Structure 1
Amino acid sequence: MILVLSYGSFEQGTDPVIDWLLYYKADFLKITTKDLYRQDMDFSIDYLNKKMMVMGTDYFPKINSVWCRRFSEKTDFVRYNQWPYTQSIYELNREQDSFQDSLYDLLSEKKWLMNPRLGSINKINVQTCAHSIGLKTPETIVTNSREELKAFHKRSGAVITKPIEFSGFFRAGSQTFATYTTTMDQQMIDQLPLNFSYSFFQQKVDAHYEVRSFYLDGEFYSSAAVFDSESRPADIKMNYSEDFLHWVNYQLPAPIEDKLRQLMQGVGLNTGSIDLLRSHDGEYYFLEVNPGGQYSAPSERNNLNVEKHIAEWLIKNDK
């Protein structure tokens, strides 16, 4: 049996894989974080005797392969923004983290697609590893100093900023707030205070195009995002629907793929979405890998059938 751990509501990467599992008539069970709190569902775990009971059935001996994708929904602080509610929610979220951690240990002998403890991975550590195995990476600093940032901007010529760990979003009522990679020009830097919260800054590579490559246990499914215009945005997520952005099938050079395999093995990932830039002088720059990154857009536009390949991997490892 295949166990799928994911979001309770629509998750654009998971649901198409479920469709393929249904098509193949695969034996699977999907559990979401919300399932664990439903009052109409019996769920219990006996850690010492290795039992995972769902609605009276022990699924532990049935499960062979596990796919963990964004199994991390938390209670929203925005709805309850006053103490003591915030403290209670904080403690409930900590309880959820501890429970999920023990669940991963219980299922550790199964075949996993993605190490569940690496759902969010440190960009700095991965970039350091990539640099050590010979992949080109942009110059990077973390600083809280405006003067240091000015000096870095002068050395690099152009600078971007983004979160160290994860570029997510949150909702407040009818509004959604998201974090994107942003270009820091001289005027923006001048408006900063002398010291600010420490932040991640990176050299902005003069890129010809961007390559998105989905990695699945040694195989690569790659696409290039090509722009009609000369100016490339700092974050192409802002322009997915624009007419000047085109997705094309792409084949990375074998030496680059070999180094990327070495990188993924080194950081303990058997899947993830890898971002690279191809500069105008022909060099490839590794940017980051997102273990739970989205792959639906290039998969659909370029007929890569990533969702089908994921389903087939789960079925193969279930047998």
Structure 2
Amino acid sequence: MILILGTSSYEQGTNPVLDWLIYLKADFIKLTIEDVFINFEDINVDINNQQLSYNNISLNESVNVVWYRHFMKPQQFVSSEDSKFYSKLNKELHSEVKFFTQFMYECLKDKKWVSSYPSIYLNKLTVLNHAEKYGIRVPSSKILNTKKHAAQFLEECTSESLIVKQFSDHSRGYYVDNDTSYFSFAKALKNDDIATLATSFFPTLFQEKIDTDYEIRVFYIDGQFYASAILCDAGYNTDDRKKIMSQSNIHHVAYELPEILKQQLTRLMNTIDLAMGAIDLIKSKSGKYYFLEVNPIGQYLYESEKCNLHIAKNIAEYLIKQDKKEVTLTPV
């Protein structure tokens, strides 16, 4: 059986895979935080024997593979109407969820996890180090908190600007205020911009801005690469691709990575214990490839549909294969 740890709401990286699993008659069950902590469906955890059951199904005996997908999505368990301590209570309840999830991983540690629970929350900065060890180029990067050091870093670089962005993978990146949504973007800073910074500020990730020909989005499934290049008629001139995705002069095309880069990325993903993830690369105008980051539960649907990569179907087939069941797969 395949156990999917997801969210109760529609999620663009999960639901298309569920559709394929149903179509392929796969044996699977989906479990969400809402099932356990809001709807109070039957969950039984034998701590002494590390046995876990859900609705009278022994997950230890039935499950062969676990697909982790947005299970720890933040929840509002208590509202301001329920208690004046709602903020503190929500933090404490979220901590309960975290400890429950960690122990669930211990109970099912002998199963095939896609990817392993600890790897889902890997450190982006550590990954950059690992990438360089395997010969993958990464932009020059520093965490700085003073205007002086930011200006010095720009002088050390060959480019005319730096990219500044968050370095935590736990940042949501968007914020909602009633009917208005706010997004955080990476931003390019030139000398004049750095001059306007405060003398000191919160520690921030600065990276050399690479003179980019195009960006490459890769979805990785255990040694298989589904890549697409983002091409712009007017040239790739942005500090964050989210700013240009809706423009009519942007094109997505299927892309074949060089074999040596595939080997390097495979070694990297094996080292950080990720069987699946969305990798961001750029190709510079000088023809060099640079690694930016990997998102363990990154999205793929937009690029897959634009380039006919059928990633959702490929994920479903991979999960079925890991479940070691004989299933006749129907070609698209």
TM surpasses 0.5:
yes
Q: Is the 8 A contact 1:77 1:86 kept in 2?
A: no
Match runs of 1:158-173 below 5 Å? 158-166=161-169, 167-168=171-172, 169-173=174-178
Residue 22 of structure 1 aligns with an amino acid whose one-letter code is I
Residue 307 of structure 1 aligns with an amino acid whose one-letter code is A
Residue 222 of structure 1 aligns with an amino acid whose one-letter code is A
| Secondary structure at 1:150 match in 2 | helix
Cα distance in 2, alignment partners of residues 153 and 243 from structure 1: 33
Cα distance in 1, alignment partners of residues 114 and 208 from structure 2: 33
Match runs of 1:114-193 below 5 Å? 114-156=115-157, 157-166=160-169, 167-168=171-172, 169-193=174-198
**How far 1:191 sits from its partner (Å)?**
2.2
| Secondary structure at 1:165 match in 2 | coil
Corresponding position: 1:5 with 2:2: no
Residue 166 of structure 2 aligns with an amino acid whose one-letter code is P
Corresponding position: 1:255 with 2:256: no
1:238 to 239, 243, 264: 243
Q: Is the 8 A contact 1:120 1:290 kept in 2?
A: no
Match runs of 1:1-319 below 5 Å? 1-39=1-39, 41-76=41-76, 80=80, 84-156=85-157, 157-166=160-169, 167-168=171-172, 169-319=174-324
- Matching residue of 2:330: none
Task: Give the 3 Å change call, closer, same or farther, for CA 38–84 of structure 1 in structure 2.
Answer: closer
| Secondary structure at 1:307 match in 2 | helix
Cα distance in 2, alignment partners of residues 151 and 83 from structure 1: 48
Cα distance in 2, alignment partners of residues 40 and 104 from structure 1: 20
Cα distance in 1, alignment partners of residues 250 and 228 from structure 2: 12
- Matching residue of 2:327: none
Residue 276 of structure 2 aligns with an amino acid whose one-letter code is T
Q: Is the 8 A contact 1:215 1:273 kept in 2?
A: yes
Residue ranges of structure 1 left out of the alignment (5+ in a row): none
Q: Is the 8 A contact 2:8 2:32 kept in 1?
A: yes
**How far 1:271 sits from its partner (Å)?**
1.1
| Secondary structure at 1:260 match in 2 | helix
Q: Is the 8 A contact 1:274 1:289 kept in 2?
A: yes
Cα distance in 2, alignment partners of residues 149 and 259 from structure 1: 31
Cα distance in 2, alignment partners of residues 76 and 151 from structure 1: 44
Q: Is the 8 A contact 2:187 2:240 kept in 1?
A: yes
**How far 1:215 sits from its partner (Å)?**
0.8
Tell me the percent identity. 36
Aligned length: 319
Q: Is the 8 A contact 1:121 1:165 kept in 2?
A: no
Q: CA-to-partner distance for each residue in 1:171-227, whole Å, 9 max, x for gaps?
A: 333232322221123343222211100000101100100111111111111110111
Cα distance in 2, alignment partners of residues 31 and 68 from structure 1: 10
Cα distance in 1, alignment partners of residues 117 and 47 from structure 2: 18
Range moving further from structure 2, 69-78 or 11-20: 69-78
Task: Give the 3 Å change call, closer, same or farther, for CA 290–45 of structure 1 in structure 2.
Answer: same
Q: CA-to-partner distance for each residue in 1:143-197, whole Å, 9 max, x for gaps?
A: 1111101111233321111111225223333232322221123343222211100
Residue 165 of structure 2 aligns with an amino acid whose one-letter code is K
Range moving further from structure 2, 4-13 or 175-184: 175-184
Q: CA-to-partner distance for each residue in 1:249-283, whole Å, 9 max, x for gaps?
A: 10000011111111111111111111111111111
Cα distance in 2, alignment partners of residues 223 and 78 from structure 1: 42
Cα distance in 2, alignment partners of residues 165 and 70 from structure 1: 16
| Secondary structure at 1:247 match in 2 | strand
Cα distance in 1, alignment partners of residues 35 and 89 from structure 2: 20
Q: Is the 8 A contact 1:275 1:286 kept in 2?
A: yes
Residue 97 of structure 2 aligns with an amino acid whose one-letter code is Q
**How far 1:133 sits from its partner (Å)?**
1.4
